Structure 1
Amino acid sequence: MDGGGRFLRSLRARFFAPLSLARPHDSRSFAFASALPLDAPFPDANFSRAPETPRAAPTWTERRTHLLARTGVGSFALIFAFGATLALGLVQSGDYREFVARNGAPYDTLARLLGFPIDSVTISGELRLHENEILAATGLDAHSSLLFLDAAETRRRLLQIPLVQSARVLKLYPNRLVIAIEERQPAALWQREGRVKVISTDGTTIADLNDPRFLGLPFVVGPGAEKRLPEYTALLRDLGELATRVRAGALVSGRRWSLIMTNGVEVKLPEVDPGAAVGVLVRLQRESRILDKDVRSIDLRLADRVAVRLTEQGAETRENAVAKRKAPKAGAHT
């Protein structure tokens, strides 16, 4: 209150007071109250007001004006109209491709104007993959929008990466994207037609062998060997300590396994119950050190016998030994 008994009001509050588009109310009672003397008694409850004139139903224009007055609706409508006009003009002028290359698709441009860009991407679960590889697979760029991002399609693209076993894509409005992946674990090396690849447990090819860290993985050879990897790893478990002396497992004709040992010996296993044959090999090695002799191959395909093929040096040594046994001893009578 100033010195003249008046209340002060901010000029800013006066000129920048919010406007209301609501229908004007009847102010007759307020006018009546202001006309009474200050010492006049206030009308009692039995005071009857003059009958009001019935109000007409709001017109379509008034309803539209009230809708646009709601927070944000008018702005969204204006931006949408602007985007539609802009897209139509670009198509008609022939500059559409140039606009898309520079700003992205018109619907993404409109979504970014509405407040739905992709400002941050959170990636989790990557071990061997680089973030750039993941982003490149999604097809996202600086012009993408969260509003029109197809999460299912993005997940499908991620699953096309050989190293990705599972993927989840989550849109957090208004501007955040979350990607969670689970990578396949390298389980073995697979050679076919002279090329060596890293494969997972289910036989999926992960990548070409170009990392020396994978050289210690089990090694399988031949068409179809990658799909029967669990069988081969089970045989290695049955071998126990002898598994360290196995260089590779070769799938022969897609039917049976042969074990290639580190010293070059080939152990031929049967198509049926190869685990039992592995048990025979373990026993022969324990009793007679068969893998340490001059043998080229050990055939365990028949359950009732073991066929051994000697090396040339082993065969020569054996012939000499047999000849010595057959030769007559010195001084013996003929």
Structure 2
Amino acid sequence: MFALKTGQSGKAGAPRPAFFGLSLAPEFLSSGRFVLPRWLRRPARLISRLCDGEYTPPRHVGLVATAVFLSSSVLYGAWLGGQIPAAAQAVTARFGFAVDQVRVSGNKETSEIDILEQLDLDGWTSLIGFDADAARQRIAALPWVKVASVRKIYPDELEVRIEEREPFALWQHGSQLAIIERSGNVIVPFDGGRHGLLPLVIGYGAAEGAEGFVGRIRQHPELASRVKGFIRVAERRWDLRLENGITIRLPETGEDAAIAELLKLDREDGLLSRDIAAVDLRLEDRLVIRLTSEALERRTTLLAEQAKAAKKKPGKSI
């Protein structure tokens, strides 16, 4: 058994030092009744020597201890008040770590101004304390941004890389017009510009099914080049609106066969160049054509004139 031994007091009968209420007298510590843990033995010896007068602390130790205590109190108060990060930012920024350059790449639809606003820089932002992950999340929340990354390049540079969503079509639902992805997700409302050349899909349910149907029509270039709008009807079938105003009503199933028959009639008789309003392909055994109001009026007039001329024609003698 090991016991902590201390130096003897210099005076007989002097009071023995105590540590947390326990005597530090050598005869007590070496009596076998009490053994200090190993990590307390060195401090206990130091306290015992200090109490016995065998150890004299260095000069100004009280002043240093007071300064340490006050500094610790100030730092603790700043930590409780949340001032430590701001102080660290200010100090490190003035030591050459202030963000001075920002490089942005991958943006076509997203402006650099919008990206810089999400970085939340104030001119004295320190690169050391800058939260790159929080900035990345703010940039990723911008409408056109699909994926974003923010990288710190010491001592004073930020690199921002983004991947943007790809516009696929314009979706009209009610009076609203929006730019959508292939998946049908809305990117931003449409406000004009070069995206006006995108395919126009119309109606509820059109956005979700647009990719497959538009792709199917594009397999027929002679028809796709004439299409102005793809209309979803009752979320079950599609109509095509051509540039000349003709509406092609496709069946709910068998769309490819109906389109093939339509293109055959157009090549043989120029069907889609005539003065008609709609071509109905929903019936399997027949094709229904609806004339425009002007064409119907002309046809009605022509039939009336033909009937009148037939009445005036003299009959054959028997």
Give unmatched runs, 5+ long, in structure 1.
1-58, 61-80
- Write out per-residue CA displacement over residues 82-110 of structure 1, whole angstroms, 9 at most, x where no aligned residue: 89937836977xxx8xx99xxx8445335
One-letter identity of the residue aligned with 2:298: T
Give 1:159 deviation, angstroms. Answer: 2.0
Hey, what's the Cα distance between the residues in 2 that align with 1:142 and 1:232?
A: 51
Kindly provide the amino acid, as one letter, of the partner of residue 284 in structure 1. L
282, 288, 301: which one aligns with 2:263: 282
Name the amino acid aligned to 1:271. E
CA contact (8 A) 1:111 1:117 kept: yes
Could you say what secondary structure the match of 1:231 adopts?
helix
Query: How is 1:1-334 mapped onto 2 (pairs within 5 angstroms)?
Result: 85=74, 88=77, 105-109=86-90, 111-112=92-93, 116-322=97-303, 324=306, 327=310, 330-333=313-316
Which has the higher mean CA deviation after the structures are superposed, 109-118 or 273-282?
Answer: 109-118
Compared CA separation, residues 89 and 230, structure 1 to 2 (3 A): closer
Question: Cα 1:192–1:87, aligned 2, differ >3 Å: closer, same or farther?
Answer: farther
CA RMSD of aligned residues (A): 3.4
- More displaced 10-residue stretch of structure 1: 181-190 or 114-123: 114-123
Instruction: State the distance in 2 between where 1:296 and 1:107 align.
Output: 73
Q: Tell me which amino acid in the other structure corresponds to 2:289.
A: V
- Conserved in 2, the CA contact under 8 Å of 1:137 and 1:158? yes
Q: With the length of structure 2 as denominator, give the TM-score of the two structures.
A: 0.65
SS at match of 1:215: helix
**Following the alignment from structure 1 to structure 2, what is the Cα–Cα distance between the partners of residues 273 and 150?**
56
CA distance in 2, matches of 1:264, 1:290: 13
User: How many aligned residue pairs are there?
Assistant: 248
CA contact (8 A) 1:299 1:307 kept: yes
The change in CA–CA distance for 1:289 and 1:118 in structure 2 (over 3 A counts) is same
Percentage identity across paired residues of the two chains? 34
Distance 1:106 1:223, change over 3 A: farther
SS in 1 for 2:261: helix
1:248 to partner: Cα distance? 0.9
In structure 2, relative to structure 1, the CA distance for the partners of 1:137 and 1:223 (3 Å cut) is farther
How far apart, CA to CA, are the structure 2 residues paired with 1:248 and 1:321?
34
Post-superposition Cα deviations, 1:241-287, rounded to whole Å, max 9, x if no partner, equal: 23222111111122221111112211111232423322222112111
